[in-house]
Chain A
Amino acid sequence: METLGFLLQGFAAALTLENLGFALAGCVLGTLVGVLPGIGPTSGLAILLPLTSFLPPTPAIIMLAAIYYGAMYGGSTTAILVNIPGEVASVVTTLDGYQMARQGRAGPALAIAAISSFVAGTLGLVGLTFFAPPLADVALRVGPPEYFGLVVLAFSVVVSLSGASLLRGLSSAALGALLALVGLDPQSGVRRFTYGTTTLLDGVDFIAVVIGLFAIAEVLAGVEASLAAVSAAPVGRVLPRWSEVRACAGTMLRATAVGFGLGLLPGCTPGAISFISYDLERRLSRTPERFGRGAIEGVAAPEGANNATTSGGFVPLLALGIPATPALAVLLGGLMIYGLQPGPLLFEKQPRFVWAVIASMYVGNVMLLVLNLPLVGLWARLVRVPYALMAPLILVFSVLGAFSVRNSMTDVGLALVFGVLGWLMLRLGYPTAPLVLALILTPMLETALRQSLSMAGGSPLILVTRPLAVILIVAGLALTVWSLRARPGREMP
């Protein structure tokens, strides 16, 4: 119970007026960073890092950490209201969140996103508080072959995201996988499909693709349906019913487990984690057909997983100095500027600092909930704005979001092209989610597979001689087969 004593001391430090103020400032700034599409936590932190250099280390890191997890809260807002996923991690939230908003349930969707974020974020912090050093050691054992197995498992989600036609779902995923191959080869540095341009060297920008496929395509579809027909959705209830929140309790717990567990692994992309959490809920649901049509669990799962991932990411950061995401790399830079070298020694040498920061994250999660719930009513009213006004605004935000990713007009062009493609796919009944999932997973799959082969001198046996990798691959294949058999109608193409 030594840990509890440290944590209480941490709370004593975190609850001073000064530190509370900086945590609050960080939460507000983070929410803002999350709400604005195109500005993610990484750039938000990089911009605000110099400002904190005037502060002593504890309040500075408290504020930077708050910006990071605050951004994860804010990311769901535009995803739910206007189908623009501000972050990779909130792509999945659009699937059911936007549908809920269309049905006049924007309020409950936003509220459950905040509640689930709070619950999963806080439970994740409990994991961080009590198990950080041993969990960090476990995370180290996960190497390229295990990551390969994990991606195989994640790819089984494609089947359930495919909707009515498996063939169309797979075509969509295949297109995503092809797009993911554009750019520099990760193992040899050879240029692939770049056509001599420098803009494609880095591949097809993910955010631009998603903004096009989701937000712009939706606007195009709305315009086609003629502006008058797309009436503004009613505001409806602002807060979810208690029964809805209770129904999501299990979802939140499972999202915590998935998010925190996979968030510990530095090689796992956050986008993949929220897809896995979403798919788990759909599989466990007695009414899986509601997913994609405004299921409240479909919002609670990815949003909870996001925030548990954030808590999980602090484990390898604080215990070993390994940043699991680019945003955490900036935070690591911030720590080092203060001469705080993360690692087991940090817990021994600077316990006051470490525990004050951890305690402040509990406080920050409460602040975010208190900040976000009253805002829900305000945001939810946005859906009353007539579509004729909303549509151009969504386009403006989409273009701005695509541009600000790399300050490049190429990405704007890309977003527009994918907007048209997304509209065509909607019309022809091709689901867009498998494309996005494949775009997220393929680089991870390729890197893990080729790293594994390099480790073993080219022998694929390495994939079947490491127990955890075998378990993951078998589970992935089994889930795929199971999903295929469970498909209604089972029309194999």
Chain B
Amino acid sequence: MMRVRTRSLSSLLAVALALALAAPPAWAQPAYPTRPVEIVVAFAPGGGADVAARLIAGYASKKWGQPVNVVNMPGASGITGTLRALGARPDGYTLLLEPHATASMLFAVERDVPFKMDGKTPIALITLDPVIYTVKADSPWKSLRDVAEAARSNPKGFRYGIAGVAAVAAFSVAQFLHAAGVPIADTNRVVFPGGAPAMTALAGGHVDFAGQQWSESAPLIQAGKVRGLAVVHPARLPNLPDVPTAAEAGFPELDVVGWQGLTGPPGLPAPIVQKWSALVEEASRDRAFLEQAAKVNKVIAYKGPEAFWRFQEEELRKYVPLATRMGIRK
């Protein structure tokens, strides 16, 4: 029952924000934006995409003195909101916060997605949300190798939880099981409606293993209810110094990652793309912004428009074989 109704009140928010913010500085009144900008998030408030959108929206509002509002349109695995944003007029006042799921994973799983992968204007990659492989705090498995061995010796008794069938965890756990030489078809895959319920089930011992994102795993790791065995990232994460990287844990080939970027409808004018891209780049060097991102468990990872698009294509190439191997490519 995650129904969110924000758009009808966005004008109220706009007024409120306009009051809350000081008047725009007189020394520079750029041609864009001259009115409030909407960033559509196709997922519920509080989730990974939403948090990233709010980070950049807050930065842009302060920078430009023009409200940048986050509008949540969740539903249908993100298809509803994405369709809405990509169908908007390409004037720069409706943008899309695009995460890994709708940008590439969906295309690896479904053949008839109701929008085209290249039917958009990529702007910038903003954040990464690395995968962390976790077990319950009192699990006998102390390392990824322990998990691999246990799953290989008894695949039929191996239970893991994932959030959604075409999201990060579906790929991250499948990739690990493949790397560990475990027959995936024999294992017990339990699907949960979101990252929080999947991690809750792990902490309660109803499943034995998970591979969710940093933002979803950190609360229960820090609460001492689950243990991080490896993080898929070149370096250890700032608030989890005890969790080794996947390479340190002996699995350098693991590379599934969650991410969030900014995208516009097709035909978005180049100056607007440049302006946003430059803003994200600037934010990625801003100390306060970086600290804020780390607090909400995100790694700032700026990529410009071209690099962002190449990144998405690489992601698709990575996930198609995985989806095929998992038997979920339709």
Contacts and interface: CB of A to CB of B under 8 A. Distances in A.
A96 interface: no
Contacts of B46: 46, 323, 326, 328-333
B80 A406 contact: yes
A322 B190 contact: no
Nearest to B155: A457
A72 to B, nearest CB: 15
Contact of B5 (A183, A333, A345, A407): A407
Contacts of B16: 51
Contact of B54 (A50, A201, A319, A331): A50
A455 B54 contact: no
Contacts of B224: 343-344
B207 A455 contact: yes
B218 A341 contact: yes
Interface string A245-271: 000000000000000000000110101
Interface residues of B, number: 72
Contacts, number: 205
Contact of A341 (B9, B77, B219, B225): B219
Interface in B1-34: 1-10, 12-13, 16-17, 20
A333 B81 CA distance: 20
A195 to B, nearest CB: 14
B192 interface: yes
A337 interface: yes
A202 B205 CA distance: 30
B47 interface: yes
B70 interface: yes
Contacts of A267: 197, 200
A292 interface: no
A403 B8 CA distance: 9
Nearest to B158: A457
B203 to A, nearest CB: 5
Contacts of A10: none
B3 A266 contact: no
B48 to A, nearest CB: 10
Contact of A45 (B45, B47, B192, B328): B45
A425 interface: no
Contact of B297 (A54, A187, A316, A336): A336
A141 B203 CA distance: 9
B72 A202 contact: no
Contact of A42 (B2, B17, B79, B192): B2
A316 B58 CA distance: 29
Interface in A336-369: 336-339, 341-345
Interface in A42-59: 42-43, 45-47, 49-51, 53-54
Nearest to B50: A333
A322 B188 contact: no
Given A198-B80, A326-B44, A333-B50, A406 B73 contact: yes
B1 A88 contact: yes
A158 to B, nearest CB: 19
A147 to B, nearest CB: 10
B166 interface: yes
A451 B192 CA distance: 8
B72 A43 contact: yes
A337 B156 CA distance: 41
Interface in B213-230: 218-220, 222-225
A103 interface: no
B175 to A, nearest CB: 18
A329 B45 contact: yes
B83 interface: yes
A406 B7 CA distance: 8
A337 B44 contact: no
Contacts of B220: 320-322, 343
Contacts of A144: 190, 201, 206
Contacts of A45: 45
Contacts of B10: 47
A47 B71 CA distance: 8
B165 interface: yes
Interface of B: 1-10, 12-13, 16-17, 20, 44-47, 50-51, 54, 57-58, 61, 69-70, 72-73, 75-77, 79-80, 83, 109, 114, 156-157, 159, 164-166, 188-193, 196-197, 199-201, 203-207, 218-220, 222-225, 239, 292, 295-297, 328
29 contacts: A39-B9, A40-B4, A46-B70, A47-B10, A50-B57, A54-B20, A140-B205, A143-B205, A144-B190, A144-B206, A189-B77, A189-B328, A199-B80, A202-B76, A202-B80, A266-B197, A269-B1, A271-B1, A320-B225, A326-B1, A326-B44, A337-B295, A338-B295, A343-B222, A406-B5, A450-B191, A451-B190, A451-B192, A457-B156
Given A42-B4, A201-B75, A451-B192, 5 more contacts: A43-B72, A50-B17, A144-B206, A336-B51, A406-B80
